[in-house]
Amino acid sequence: MANVQEIVDLWNEEQPKYENLGKIVCAFIKDKITDYELLPEIQHRTKELLSIIKKVKKKQSQKEYSYHHLKDKLGIRIICSFQEEMKIIDEFLQKFFTIKEVEYKQENLDFDKLDYVSNHYDAQINLGINEFKKHTELAGFVFEIQVRTLNQHAWSNTAHSLSYKQEKDLPPNLKRKVYRLLSLYELADDEFSSVNKALKEYRDNHSYTLLRKLEGKFYKYAKIDFDREISLNTINILLSYYENETNINQVINEIDGFIISNEQKIQRIYDENRNRFYEILFLTQPEIFIIWYMLQSNPFTLEDNWANDFEEEDLEQIKTLWGNDL
Amino acid sequence: MAINHLDTSTIIIENIIVHSIPRHKKGDFSIEPEYSEQESSLPDGLRVFFKDKVIQSLQSNKELRVCYDVESVSPVSTYINQIISSNGADFVEQSKLMTKYLFEIQDGQNASGILVVIFGKINNQNACIIIKLERDEGAQLELDPKTKSFNIKDVKDLMLTRKTKIYKVGLFVDKSVFKIKYDGSTADLQIDPKTKKEVTTWFIEKFLGCVPLADPRTTTKKFYDFTTTYIQSIEDPIKKAKYTQDLNSYLQKNSHRISAKEFADDYMETSDKDLYNRYLKEKNFRMSEFPKDNSFINNKIKTITMIFANDIAIVGKKGTFEKNVKLEEQNDGTTKAEIVSKVKSVR
């Protein structure tokens, strides 16, 4: 049987270390995942002492099991918007962490099982990665990373409250209700994905098309979320400065190349000004890329019209950040 | 890899020092500059402030590429090079020498001033930046007796108040590192009618000992040629005629410094401005100011000739074309020209 006092002592000693590890891993993921043009929600928690004791006791009743077998004393959760992002996050985790075991739940789930698809990883920090090198004392700690979509997360939380997992105890009519609900969540995920894909290819609304092109890039450099309403409004205004459709299409077609060819410069501007975002609000919105593009390609179109809609000092500030070639 | 451009967004300010130059009569050495004996401490917020101010000055239309003039008596280029080559080690001493020289060449006409010298980086290479501020007598700076330096925040406050007039900036590098033909860039933001007639300014020529990178006669001719070629590419004949007359007027204005940006802003429609800007970029011709010298183009800008497809030509003198020839676009794509005057002669 579990020696409770031993677990208490071990956990009292290890919990702060796991907590520290959680902070380090979360900070690392938050910082690096934006390079993949994603901005998922990232959380961590260390397990409650009582949960540890209960889990060990429960497992011990089934097999030989101790405190040391627990893999989820630290849990990291990555919640993304769309299913297709799970694949990108999988690549990311495989690249930057030592993955001891991975379970892609969707692959193993029978069609009639009441559970939801999310990816679980038993992981350790990889000391070959620069940011982890100095944390040798945490190298042996295994932790769990769960990757889910928002829908999977919603299902999981609700289902947890309903304690539905004991499906054998559910009467058929309730079981059917739960199946129907689950299928709705799955369908929602599929539909969100297909809408997302369709919208990315949607070219009828120029402002929307541009924003979709820019948001991933924005996450990469700014590493924060932005106000979509402000963005769409500002992009609408900026595009209205162009006299014809050809010019607007040129912006849409050239903006990616512009950002890529100025990657180092944009990265440097963001790194240097991260602690004064509040002074330069345009830096916290993806339309900043369009403004910089216009300063390079259509400076007069921008400068001749700007003052009708925005503060002149804002443009001065944006120009100063971008600098000029002497 | 050779760096062949200076990107002001990469400026890093490492050291900054401030010296004060009182107003004095020429040759009056009873007054002396107040020298800092060490660099001023520079908190991050102020570092950003000075970087922004330097970029804004050099981003203005007043920015001009310059070279050290081998015939100049100014020793400032030697001091600048010493700062750059010593990696900033000789920064304090050289900045004091610059201040001493500035004090010596100033006279009672010059307002009291502040010389801010910066050692830093641009594109990760050493750079020396000089800012000269002029100030009213009421705006005083006090040397801290303990640190023997001026408080850089006081300089910022002066720059933000009306007590300090607009300033002048010069940024210099080792041109061999950048594989460029000029030693630096300057911006003289002083708007002073007294200096307006000078081709280069007192600050650039006398103090820094610099001349513009290119011969103003050549730059002016290039400006004229490129602008004319661009105007010729415009399809609308009426617009073409208007811009041609505008160019001639612009070049004959009583101004000693001109720029493609000013020309575009004053005369062109927005969409044409951007195309013009793009065209000049392709030709490596800059939009910022340069000293005007019409010597090579005087003959070209005196008359305008408009030749029609039916071999009729109208020749007009500067400034009179627009007034006396009424052009009107017809529905069939032709242009109607109307001249109402007496026939003076037929040749």
Tens digits of residue pLDDT in A142-172? 999 999 998 888 887 777 666 655 556 677 7
User: Is B345 domain-assigned?
Assistant: no
Shared domain for B94 and B180, answered yes or no, is: yes
**Could you give the 3-state DSSP secondary structure of residue A304?**
helix
- Retrieve residue A316's tokens: 């001065």
How sure is the predictor about B193, in pLDDT bands with cuts at 50, 70 and 90? very low
Please, are residues B198 and B84 in contact by the beta-carbon 8 Å criterion? no
User: Is B344 domain-assigned?
Assistant: no
**How far A80 CA sits from the closest chain B CA (Å)?**
35
3-state secondary structure A166-223: CHHHCCHHHHHHHHHHHHHHHHHHHHHHHHHHHHHCCCCCHHHHHHHHHHHHHHHHHC
Answer whether B56 sits within 8 Å of A320, measured CB to CB. Answer: yes
Range of the domain at B254: 216-339
Answer whether B9 sits within 8 Å of A322, measured CB to CB. Answer: yes
Which residues, including other chains, have CB under 8 Å from residue A107's CB and lie 6 or more apart? none
- Retrieve residue A61's tokens: 């009743």
Over pLDDT 70: what percentage of chain A?
A: 92
Average pLDDT of the residues in A14-27? 96
- The residue with tokens 């990108």 is A88
Please, are residues A69 and A142 in contact by the beta-carbon 8 Å criterion? no
User: Is B316 domain-assigned?
Assistant: yes
Shared domain for B222 and B148, answered yes or no, is: no
Answer whether A300 sits within 8 Å of B58, measured CB to CB. Answer: no
What DSSP state is assigned to residue A325? B
**Could you give the 3-state DSSP secondary structure of residue A107?**
helix
Q: Per-residue pLDDT tens for B104-148? A: 888 777 777 889 999 999 999 999 999 998 876 666 778 888 888
How sure is the predictor about A280, in pLDDT bands with cuts at 50, 70 and 90? very high
Mean pLDDT, chain B, integer: 87
- Retrieve residue B115's tokens: 């010389």
Among A300, A301, A326, whose Cβ lies nearest the Cβ of B171? A326
> Looking at B244-308, which runs of residues are DSSP E strands?
257-258, 290-291, 303-307
- The residue with tokens 């720029």 is B259
HSE of A3, CA atoms in CB hemisphere, 13 A: 5
Shared domain for B143 and B232, answered yes or no, is: no
Quick one: pLDDT at residue B5? 80
- Retrieve residue A320's tokens: 């100063």
Shared domain for B220 and B162, answered yes or no, is: no
Answer whether A325 sits within 8 Å of B277, measured CB to CB. Answer: no
> Residue B187: which of B205, B210, B214, B169 has the closest Cα?
B169
**How far A252 CA sits from the closest chain B CA (Å)?**
18
Question: A298: burial class by Cβ within 10 Å (0-12, 13-18, 19+)?
Answer: buried
Q: Does B65 touch chain A (CB under 8 A)?
A: yes
Between CA A269 and CA A223 the distance in angstroms is 13
Answer whether B59 sits within 8 Å of A276, measured CB to CB. Answer: no
**Could you give the 3-state DSSP secondary structure of residue A125?**
strand
Q: Does B58 touch chain A (CB under 8 A)?
A: yes
CA nearest to B185 within chain A: A326
> Residue B2: which of B150, B195, B176 has the closest Cα?
B176
Answer whether A268 sits within 8 Å of B273, measured CB to CB. Answer: no
Answer whether B9 sits within 8 Å of A300, measured CB to CB. Answer: no
Q: Per-residue pLDDT tens for B8-44? A: 999 999 999 999 888 777 777 778 888 999 888 888 8
Chain B residues inside the 8 Å CB shell of A320: 52, 55-56, 59
Chain A residues inside the 8 Å CB shell of B274: 297-301
ipTM value, please give it. 0.82
Chain A residues inside the 8 Å CB shell of B65: 326
Answer whether A298 sits within 8 Å of B274, measured CB to CB. Answer: yes
Element (H, E) at B248: helix B237-251
User: Is B27 domain-assigned?
Assistant: yes
Q: Per-residue pLDDT tens for A221-232? A: 999 999 999 999
How sure is the predictor about A299, in pLDDT bands with cuts at 50, 70 and 90? very high
Between CA B322 and CA B223 the distance in angstroms is 22
Quick one: pLDDT at residue B139? 62
Mean pLDDT, chain A, integer: 89
Please, are residues A215 and A286 in contact by the beta-carbon 8 Å criterion? yes
- The residue with tokens 């098309």 is A209
Quick one: pLDDT at residue A168? 64
CA nearest to B187 within chain A: A326
Answer whether A323 sits within 8 Å of B7, measured CB to CB. Answer: yes
Chain A residues inside the 8 Å CB shell of B56: 316, 320
Answer whether B6 sits within 8 Å of A325, measured CB to CB. Answer: yes
Between CA A317 and CA A308 the distance in angstroms is 17
Chain B residues inside the 8 Å CB shell of A326: 5-8, 58, 63, 65, 171, 184-185
User: Is B3 domain-assigned?
Assistant: no
B181 residue type, one letter: K
Chain A residues inside the 8 Å CB shell of B59: 319-320, 323-324
Answer whether A268 sits within 8 Å of B9, measured CB to CB. Answer: yes
3-state helix, strand, coil in chain B (%, to 5): 35, 25, 40
CB pairs under 8 A between A and B: 62
CA nearest to B186 within chain A: A326
**Of residues A217 and B188, which shows the higher confidence score?**
A217
How sure is the predictor about B237, in pLDDT bands with cuts at 50, 70 and 90? confident
How sure is the predictor about A178, in pLDDT bands with cuts at 50, 70 and 90? confident
Biggest distance spanned by C-alpha atoms of chain B: 85
Shared domain for B196 and B230, answered yes or no, is: no
**Phi–psi pair at B130, nearest 5 degrees:** -120, 130
Shared domain for B106 and B159, answered yes or no, is: yes
Shared domain for B42 and B121, answered yes or no, is: yes
Quick one: pLDDT at residue B347? 73
**How far B59 CA sits from the closest chain A CA (Å)?**
6
Between CA A24 and CA A143 the distance in angstroms is 12
- The yes-or-no verdict on residue A2 having pLDDT over 90 is no
Please, are residues A267 and A290 in contact by the beta-carbon 8 Å criterion? no
Quick one: pLDDT at residue A223? 93
**Phi–psi pair at A76, nearest 5 degrees:** -110, 135
Please, are residues B184 and B246 in contact by the beta-carbon 8 Å criterion? no
What DSSP state is assigned to residue A48? P
Among B48, B59, B273, whose Cβ lies nearest the Cβ of A324? B59
CA nearest to A322 within chain B: B9
Average pLDDT of the residues in B87-110? 89
Provide the total of helices (H) and of strands (E) in chain A, helices listed first.
13, 5
Among B212, B228, B263, where does a domain finish? B212
Answer whether A301 sits within 8 Å of B274, measured CB to CB. Answer: yes
Answer whether B273 sits within 8 Å of A304, measured CB to CB. Answer: yes
Answer whether A320 sits within 8 Å of B55, measured CB to CB. Answer: yes
Shared domain for B184 and B116, answered yes or no, is: yes
> Residue B20: which of B195, B147, B154 has the closest Cα?
B154
Shared domain for B272 and B204, answered yes or no, is: no
Shared domain for B83 and B20, answered yes or no, is: yes
Parallel, antiparallel, or unpaired for β B63-68 and B184-188? antiparallel
Please, are residues A98 and A156 in contact by the beta-carbon 8 Å criterion? no
**Of residues B240 and A161, which shows the higher confidence score?**
B240
User: Is B161 domain-assigned?
Assistant: yes
Answer whether A323 sits within 8 Å of B8, measured CB to CB. Answer: yes
- Retrieve residue A282's tokens: 């345009």
User: Is B2 domain-assigned?
Assistant: no
- The yes-or-no verdict on residue A297 having pLDDT over 50 is yes
Chain A residues inside the 8 Å CB shell of B8: 323-326
Between CA A34 and CA A224 the distance in angstroms is 9
- Retrieve residue B293's tokens: 């010298």
A92 residue type, one letter: F
Among A304, A322, A324, whose Cβ lies nearest the Cβ of B270? A304
Ramachandran area for residue B30 (φ above 0: left; ψ -120 to 50: alpha; else beta): alpha
Minimum mean pLDDT among A235-239, B270-274, B281-285, B305-309: which range?
A: B305-309
pTM for the whole structure: 0.82
Shared domain for B134 and B235, answered yes or no, is: no
**Could you give the 3-state DSSP secondary structure of residue A15?**
helix
- The yes-or-no verdict on residue A110 having pLDDT over 70 is no
Q: Does B325 touch chain A (CB under 8 A)?
A: no
- The yes-or-no verdict on residue A15 having pLDDT over 90 is yes
Quick one: pLDDT at residue A23? 96
User: Is B185 domain-assigned?
Assistant: yes
Answer whether A300 sits within 8 Å of B65, measured CB to CB. Answer: no
Q: Per-residue pLDDT tens for B46-66? A: 899 999 999 998 998 888 999
- The yes-or-no verdict on residue A276 having pLDDT over 50 is yes
Q: Which domains are delineated in chain A?
A: 4-172 (3.30.460.10), 206-322 (no CATH)
- The yes-or-no verdict on residue A258 having pLDDT over 50 is yes
Beta bridge partners of B186: B64, B170
Between CA B33 and CA B19 the distance in angstroms is 7
Chain A residues inside the 8 Å CB shell of B171: 326
How sure is the predictor about B286, in pLDDT bands with cuts at 50, 70 and 90? very high
Quick one: pLDDT at residue B200? 57
Answer whether A297 sits within 8 Å of B278, measured CB to CB. Answer: yes
Over pLDDT 90: what percentage of chain A?
A: 70
Quick one: pLDDT at residue A199? 75
Helix ranges (H only) for B4-122 are 44-59, 76-85, 91-105
Answer whether B55 sits within 8 Å of A323, measured CB to CB. Answer: yes
Chain A residue set in contact with B, beta carbons under 8 Å: 243, 265, 268-269, 276, 297-301, 304-305, 316, 319-326
Among B149, B179, B212, where does a domain finish? B212
Which residue in A263, A300, A305, A315 has the most chain B C-beta atoms within 10 A of its own C-beta, making it the best mutation to test that interface? Answer: A300
Shared domain for B105 and B239, answered yes or no, is: no
Between CA A190 and CA B14 the distance in angstroms is 54
Chain B residues inside the 8 Å CB shell of A301: 270-271, 273-274
Quick one: pLDDT at residue B156? 85
Q: Per-residue pLDDT tens for A51-76? A: 999 999 888 888 888 899 999 999 99
Average pLDDT of the residues in B196-202? 59
Among B160, B194, B212, where does a domain finish? B212
Number of domains in chain B: 2
**Could you give the 3-state DSSP secondary structure of residue B218?**
helix
Give the Cβ contact number of residue A143 at 10 Å: 24
